[in-house]
Amino acid sequence: NQQILLKTRPVGEPKESDFALVENPIPEPGEGEVLNRTIYLSLDPYMRGRMSDRESYVAPVELASVMVGGTVSQVIKSNHPQFSTGDFVLGYDGWQAYAVSKGETLRKLDPNQAPISYALGITGMPGMTAYFALLDVGQPKAGETVVVSAASGAVGSIVGQIAKIKGCRAVGVAGSDAKCDYAVKELGFDACINRKTQELSSALKDACPNGIDIYFDNTAGAILEAVLQQINLGARIPLVGLISQYNAENPPPGPNLMPLLIKRALIKGFLVLDYQHRQTEFLNDVSQWLREGKLKYKEDIVEGLENASHAFIGLLQGKNFGKLIVKVNND
Ligand code: NDP
């Protein structure tokens, strides 16, 4: 059984010497198990994370073990009532030619319905990523502009096409002219920007004359930075991937958004002026809490208007202690 093991944890870009190709006996399936012959192995960006032992949402691959990965296989021996020899199955057998799997972990595939390899892409994990992150988090509405990075890839290509189905303007960002041509001419994107040859900010401005309502982020980094300059009121940003930093030894300068993705945390812009119509609700609660002594309040009162500028400068230096106000005249 040909297998690829993780030999060393890559530093920066993975190297072939980080992996070892080994030959082992083909295993025998036990009770409730099947023996699969791998036909297709999926390679996905998340695997870079599994090669590191940094904290993440799943445990890393142990050194000297078979690399993990989604697979489409044919069952060649079965000790499970629901699978017969010859069945095609979607599983998670990893980087190896044969594997024993528990029947419960497999999904049977119908080769007459679609090419079996699609289960690793458009009808599998990447397709589901595109579908749910766009529709559930992005909430696209007809007429809105959707920008997606890695636009010709497994996830991005589906995002742009679903955006079009929902009546949106779809704008891709991709890494070559060939990828961009494909996105526009074959997939029906309205525009696509080559991130390697075009200046991102001006190209986005041209491609998104009405601004950006949804940014489906597969990359973070420079593309996110440029997109944010043109984001619209009430825009949504599904943070789906940060591939621009997967090989980075240290997080890039500025806030690192990776924990937001891992923890499915929410950052949302806020302006109090949106809440003026709920002022009564606010006043009722806060006045009551004050009366009941549940809220405490501290004021830092500066005497005399002539001291206002000095006090304001101090505010930005942290010299105030409590809510800074100026007593201008005696009451
Ligand atoms: P793709 O098929 O899109 O392949 C990866 C692409 O990423 C490359 O072809 C390249 O496209 C782009 N890329 C690589 N390096 C950089 C960089 N430094 N800056 C910008 N772009 C870069 O892969 P997938 O569709 O499988 O995955 C896309 C993203 O979605 C990944 O970030 C992945 O981790 C994420 N993902 C997240 C999931 C989730 O549950 N959160 C599930 C599945 C995927 P180009 O040359 O066009 O720029």
The pLDDT score that the predictor gives to residue 147 is 98
CB 219 near ligand 1, within 6 Å = yes
13 Cα: distance to centroid of ligand 1 (angstroms)? 15
Question: Could you report how far apart the first and last alpha carbons of the chain are, in Å?
Answer: 89
Protein residue whose Cα sits closest to atom 6 of ligand 1? 150
Q: Which tens digits make up the pLDDT trace of 36-75?
A: 999 999 999 999 999 999 877 889 999 999 999 999 999 9
pLDDT tens-digit map of 84-137? 999 999 999 999 999 999 999 999 999 999 999 999 999 999 999 999 999 999
In the prediction, which pLDDT does 251 show? 81
CATH architecture of 125-262: 3-Layer(aba) Sandwich (3.40)
How far is it, in rounded angstroms, from Cα 193 to Cα 175?
8
Instruction: Could you please state the CATH topology (level 3) that the domain comprising 2-117 is classified under.
Output: Quinone Oxidoreductase; Chain A, domain 1 (3.90.180)
CA of residue 104 to ligand 1 center, whole Å: 30
In the DSSP assignment, the letter for residue 146 is: E
Mutation test of ligand 1: which of 218, 260, 261, 263 has the most ligand atoms closer than 8 Å to its C-beta?
Answer: 218
- Residue in 137, 155, 187, 217 to alter for ligand 1 test, most ligand atoms within 8 A of Cβ: 155
Q: Report the relative pairing of strands 323-327 and 19-23 from DSSP bridges.
A: unpaired
Would you say the CB of residue 36 lies under 6 angstroms from ligand 1? no
Query: Looking at residues 147-170, what average pLDDT do you find?
Result: 98
CA distance 290 to 292: 5
d(Cα 114, Cα 130) in Å, to the nearest integer? 19
3-state DSSP assignment of residue 177: helix
> In the structure, how many helices (H) and strands (E) does the chain have?
9, 14
Q: Are 145 and 171 in contact (CB under 8 A)?
A: yes
pLDDT(238) > 90: yes
Q: Report the separation in Å between the CA atom of 45 and the middle of ligand 1, taken as the mean of its atom positions.
A: 6
Q: 116 alpha carbon to ligand 1 midpoint, in Å?
A: 22
pTM: 0.94
Rounded to an integer, what distance in angstroms lies between the CA atom of residue 178 and that of residue 180? 5
Residue 220 in contact with ligand 1 by CB distance below 6 A: no
Q: What stretches of the chain show up as alpha helix (H) in DSSP?
A: 46-50, 125-132, 156-165, 177-181, 200-207, 222-228, 258-262, 279-291, 308-315
Which residues belong to CATH 3.40.50.720 in the chain? Answer: 125-262
pLDDT (0 to 100) of residue 253? 87
Q: Which pLDDT belongs to residue 223?
A: 98
pLDDT, tens digit, 9 for 90 and up, residues 222-233: 999 999 999 999
φ/ψ (deg, to 5) at 107: -115, 125
CA separation for the pair 212, 138 (Å, rounded): 12
Q: Is the CB of 44 under 6 A from ligand 1?
A: yes
User: In the chain, which segments carry CATH 3.90.180.10?
Assistant: 2-117
3-state helix, strand, coil in the chain (%, to 5): 30, 25, 45
Ligand 1 pocket check for 60: Cβ under 6 Å: no
Pocket of ligand 1 contains residue 175 by CB under 6 Å: yes
Residue to mutate (ligand 1; options 243, 257, 260, 263; most atoms within 8 A of CB): 243
Minimum CA distance residue for ligand 1 atom 4: 153
Secondary structure of 230-272 in the HEC alphabet? CEEEEEECCECCCHHHCCCCCCCCCCCCHHHHHCCCCCCCCCH
**Which pLDDT does position 331 carry in this prediction?**
83
pLDDT at 324 over 90: yes
